[in-house]
């Protein structure tokens, strides 16, 4: 039998010495939020989002800044395209991104958490920007003799929005914690639906449904609901209705406070050491 020579890596004491990367064990105590919050309207999604580590910069695409009035440590930027022919919502986000990168590289303070609320309406801002760059991605609907509405058309705009969202998530997550808020909807059963009748799976997903694939890039995907006692419940692990997920040492159901949820995680990790 011929003996195979040892590889350079197997002959040293640390097999990862020349590879780099991060030791997975060190990630237990170091939490950097990459969180998607999903829920129906008026279930406390925005309130849950701003319980993340402060200071928090909120990008408000729903034009609902007043819902967060009086809260400390939060700066809100409402971004709504009033003129589709000259959209500026996403350009504002990208200008901020470039500025924040520069400030951070200079060693100066930036927000700890970035909240995008909600992706359902942010989608329209992304469509507006993509159509501005390439008019073939949209089509116009006349609302009145003097008013036209541009809407996305075809798979190119869908793929464009999906890629745009992934880019924003990944770029801002390099700066700090990120929380993206999604409205939920009944999950359409694509295989069983017909042109005449829409079939559903009995589960919940995000609105629009084609952005459900983006949930895979989040470390945390939680659903917030209200129970029969009008108590808010955060679901962090999957069941037969929703594919929630978490990488934290927490329970399947939690109280609606990211600060308390992170505290529980750290306490449980500490107890294991």
Look over the chain and give the mean of its residue pLDDT values, rounded to a whole number: 89
pLDDT at 9: 47
Determine phi and psi for 96, rounding to 5 degrees: -60, -40
Which of helix, strand or coil describes residue 61? coil
Distance (Å, whole) CA 244 – CA 239:
8
pLDDT at 10: 47
Residues of the chain whose pLDDT is less than 70? Answer: 1-12, 16-18, 20-30, 138, 140-151, 153, 273
Distance (Å, whole) CA 210 – CA 195:
18
Does 3.40.50 match the CATH number of domain 33-230?
yes
Q: The tokens 């750290």 sit on which residue?
A: 266
Domain residue spans of the chain: 33-230
pLDDT at 136: 84
How does pLDDT run across 227-244, given as a tens digit for each residue?
988 999 999 999 999 999
How does pLDDT run across 3-24, given as a tens digit for each residue?
555 555 444 577 766 676 666 6
Residues 6+ apart with CB under 8 A from 87: 81, 125, 128, 129, 132
Q: Which residues of 28-41 are buried (b: 16+ CB within 10 A; e: fewer)?
A: beebebbbbbbbbe
pTM here is: 0.87
How does pLDDT run across 74-99, given as a tens digit for each residue?
999 999 998 888 999 999 999 999 99
């Amino acid at each position: 039998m011929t003996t195979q020579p040892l590889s350079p890596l197997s002959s040293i004491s640390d097999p990862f010495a020349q590879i780099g990367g991060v030791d997975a064990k060190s990630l237990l105590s170091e939490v950097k939020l990459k969180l998607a919050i999903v829920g129906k309207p008026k279930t406390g999604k925005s309130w849950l989002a701003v319980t993340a580590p402060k200071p928090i910069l909120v990008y408000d695409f729903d034009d609902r800044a007043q819902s967060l009035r009086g809260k400390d440590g939060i700066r809100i930027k409402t971004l709504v395209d009033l003129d589709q022919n000259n959209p500026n919502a996403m350009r504002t986000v990208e200008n901020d991104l470039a500025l924040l990168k520069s400030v951070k590289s200079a060693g100066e303070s930036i927000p700890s958490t970035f909240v995008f609320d909600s992706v359902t309406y942010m989608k329209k801002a992304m469509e507006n920007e993509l159509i501005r760059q390439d008019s073939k991605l949209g089509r116009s609907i006349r609302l009145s003799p003097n008013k036209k509405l541009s809407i996305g058309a075809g798979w190119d705009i869908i793929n464009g929005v999906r890629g745009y969202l992934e880019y924003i998530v990944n770029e801002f997550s390099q700066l700090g914690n990120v929380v993206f808020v999604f409205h939920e909807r009944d999950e359409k059963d694509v295989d069983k639906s017909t042109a005449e009748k829409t079939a559903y799976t009995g589960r919940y997903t995000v609105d629009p449904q084609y952005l459900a694939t983006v949930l895979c890039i989040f470390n945390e995907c939680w659903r917030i609901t209200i129970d029969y006692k009008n108590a808010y419940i955060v679901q962090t692990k999957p069941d037969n209705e929703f594919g929630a997920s978490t990488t934290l040492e927490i329970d399947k159901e939690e109280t609606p406070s990211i600060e308390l949820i992170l505290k529980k995680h750290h306490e449980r990790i500490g107890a294991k050491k």
